[in-house]
Amino acid sequence: MSFRVLIALSVSAAALAGCVSVDGVAERERALSAAADHTDPVAPYDVPLPQAGETLSEDGAAALAIARNPALRAQLAEAGLARADWAVAVLPPNPVVELTWFNPEGAGAVLDMDVRAPAAALLGYPMRRAAARAAYDGAQARAVLDAIDFAADARRAWVVAVAANERAALQTRILQSAEAALVVAEEIDAAGNAPTAALARQQLMTLAARADADDARQAAMLAGLDLGVVIAGEAELPARLPDPVAVNVPEDAAEQALNASLPLAAARAEAERAARAAGYETLDSFLGGLEIGPAFDIEDGETETGISAHLDLPLFGLGHPQRAAAQIRAQQAADRYTALEAEIRAAITAQVAEMEWASERARFIREELLPASTRSLDETMRQYNAMQTGVYALLDAFNAQASAGRAYVDAMARYHRARIGFTAMMQGGSPSGVEISAPRAGAAANAGEDH
């Protein structure tokens, strides 16, 4: 190997160093732009930011979260860090230069120069570069995924906050009705027209309604704080959740979700990176102690060239544990990819089922249960005022209507959370879990027993 070869290597290394630039801001913008491409037709990135005093919509919450939240910027910085790692990995190993100079008395100076580089790093350079590129591709996919998931989390936080406010308003109305009924019960008791137990029960119901109203207000306050953290500010929320809307669910929804899935793309890149790393680890375990390169001997103006080698004797092992660990990691990454496929299929099925169930449940409560409970309460109140029924029947009718109202808000919230999860997965987002806890027995069919 000559000086010209060394110069060529140096020039090539410099060119490679300039091939991969590192710009954290550009990586963040690239991730957001790619996320916007994934989210058609629901793209919070194109929604105008809400103005002060304007009622915050679900799209507006996602837009504010994308624009303001520093946690998202911190997450997206991982893509810039991965690009920096890739920029380092595309470079060949730095050579080791060893100089020895002799100047014995009565003789000319002698200069020995050895230039060496790790053999494994040289031969395995394509594998290292491919592994680093796969790691960067995975980081890019995760950055886009972070943006999509973050927007979905903002939407869910908005749903939770609006539903919590709606429950709080409902519990306030229940408390007001209970207090009004208590006044009537006290008047009837004072007139001696009802047993003492009736007044005691009405007092107990009023206390329970007050406790439920306090709990609902606290939950609404905490949900509002959570939403404020996500959108990095405060906002005016609507009084109620919107009614369910038709969501297009293609027959091959699971396959489309798999094709769009960014978690799956990241897992695929990780599996490729691990496989490349396992190949390099095998090479490095055998040649990791070998350094080779040209040697130069300059004496009295004359230069002689040769080959320099440095070898660590593998007396205490040939790197079998390292090779085994790398192969285990490669298989582990492949297994995680396969498991994620099954998880995505199950999650899509669950989200679709949850949307359909919650939508039908909300329709049933809105169109049948709530009107029936209102009619029952009105008729019971008329009978009670005419002293044709007792306070127990009135309390049962009152509790039935209150239970139906709470069940409706819960069904609406579950529908919107499932819709957001389904939409995000079809855009490439993470498979999100669905509530699997059964609704309270009696919340609908036996609503009158909720007391």
What are 11-34's pLDDT values in tens digits?
Answer: 454 454 445 576 667 777 777 776
pLDDT value at 254 more than 60 = yes
Question: d(Cα 386, Cα 169) in Å, to the nearest integer?
Answer: 31
- Category of 122 on φ-ψ map: left (φ > 0), alpha (ψ -120 to 50) or beta: alpha
What is the pLDDT, as a whole number, of residue 439? 37
Please check whether residue 122 lies inside any domain of the structure.
no
What is the pLDDT, as a whole number, of residue 194? 63
Please check whether residue 167 lies inside any domain of the structure.
yes
Of how many residues is the chain composed? 451
Q: In this predicted structure, which of 127-131, 289-293, 419-423 has the lowest mean pLDDT?
A: 289-293
What is the pLDDT, as a whole number, of residue 144? 82
Q: Greater confidence, 339 or 108? A: 339
Please check whether residue 58 lies inside any domain of the structure.
yes
pLDDT value at 265 more than 80 = yes
pLDDT value at 353 more than 80 = yes
Q: Average pLDDT of 142-149?
A: 83
pLDDT value at 170 more than 50 = yes
Q: Greater confidence, 211 or 80? A: 211
What is the pLDDT, as a whole number, of residue 317? 59
What is the pLDDT, as a whole number, of residue 9? 46
pLDDT value at 350 more than 80 = yes
Q: Average pLDDT of 363-389?
A: 85
Question: d(Cα 432, Cα 349) in Å, to the nearest integer?
Answer: 11
Question: d(Cα 37, Cα 148) in Å, to the nearest integer?
Answer: 10
Percent of the chain with pLDDT over 70: 74
Q: Greater confidence, 422 or 27? A: 422
Specify the CATH number for the domain of residue 345: 1.20.1600.10
Q: What is the pTM (predicted TM-score) of this model?
A: 0.72
- Give the residues across from 113 on adjacent strands: 99, 296
Please check whether residue 132 lies inside any domain of the structure.
no
Domains: count for the chain: 1
Question: d(Cα 74, Cα 28) in Å, to the nearest integer?
Answer: 10
Q: In this predicted structure, which of 112-116, 326-330, 413-417 has the lowest mean pLDDT?
A: 112-116
pLDDT value at 276 more than 80 = no
pLDDT value at 222 more than 80 = yes
Q: Exposure pattern of 30-61 as b/e (b: 16+ CB <10 Å)?
A: bbbebbbebbeebbbbebeebeeeeebbbbbb
Q: In this predicted structure, which of 93-107, 162-176, 257-271, 354-368 has the lowest mean pLDDT?
A: 93-107
pLDDT value at 210 more than 60 = yes
Please check whether residue 126 lies inside any domain of the structure.
no
Q: In this predicted structure, which of 213-217, 403-407, 430-434 has the lowest mean pLDDT?
A: 430-434
What is the pLDDT, as a whole number, of residue 368? 92
Q: Average pLDDT of 308-321?
A: 66
Question: d(Cα 117, Cα 129) in Å, to the nearest integer?
Answer: 17
What is the pLDDT, as a whole number, of residue 305? 78
Q: In this predicted structure, which of 79-88, 97-106, 365-374, 410-419 has the lowest mean pLDDT?
A: 97-106
What is the pLDDT, as a whole number, of residue 159? 94
CA 211 to chain centre: 35
Q: In this predicted structure, which of 40-54, 144-158, 294-308, 333-347 has the lowest mean pLDDT?
A: 40-54
Number of Cα atoms under 13 Å in the Cβ half of residue 126: 1
SS3 39: coil
Q: Which range marks the domain in which residue 49 is found?
A: 40-94+148-273+340-449
What is the pLDDT, as a whole number, of residue 17? 47
Q: Exposure pattern of 399-433 as b/e (b: 16+ CB <10 Å)?
A: bbbbbbbbbbbbbbbbbbbbbbbbbbbbbbbbbbe
Please check whether residue 344 lies inside any domain of the structure.
yes
pLDDT value at 224 more than 90 = yes
CB 384, CB 393: distance < 8 Å: yes
Question: d(Cα 268, Cα 25) in Å, to the nearest integer?
Answer: 26
Question: Residue by residue, what is the 3-state secondary structure of the chain?
Answer: CCHHHHHHHHHHHHHHHHHCCCCHHHHHHHHHHHHHHHCCCCCHHHCCCCCCCCECCHHHHHHHHHHHCHHHHHHHHHHHHHHHHHHHHCCCCCCEEEEEEECCCCCCCEEEEEEEEEHHHHHCHHHHHHHHHHHHHHHHHHHHHHHHHHHHHHHHHHHHHHHHHHHHHHHHHHHHHHHHHHHHHHHHHHCCCCCHHHHHHHHHHHHHHHHHHHHHHHHHHHHHHHHHHHHCCCCECCCCCCCCCCCCCCCCHHHHHHHHCHHHHHHHHHHHHHHHHHHHHHHHHHHCCEEEEEEEEEECCEEEEEEEEEECCCCCCCCHHHHHHHHHHHHHHHHHHHHHHHHHHHHHHHHHHHHHHHHHHHHHHHHHHHHHHHHHHHHHHHHHHCCCCCHHHHHHHHHHHHHHHHHHHHHHHHHHHHHHHHHHHHCCCCCCCCCCCCCCCCCCCCHHHCC
Please check whether residue 425 lies inside any domain of the structure.
yes
pLDDT value at 333 more than 80 = yes
Please check whether residue 204 lies inside any domain of the structure.
yes
pLDDT band at 112 (very low <50, low <70, confident <90, very high): confident
CB 412, CB 364: distance < 8 Å: no
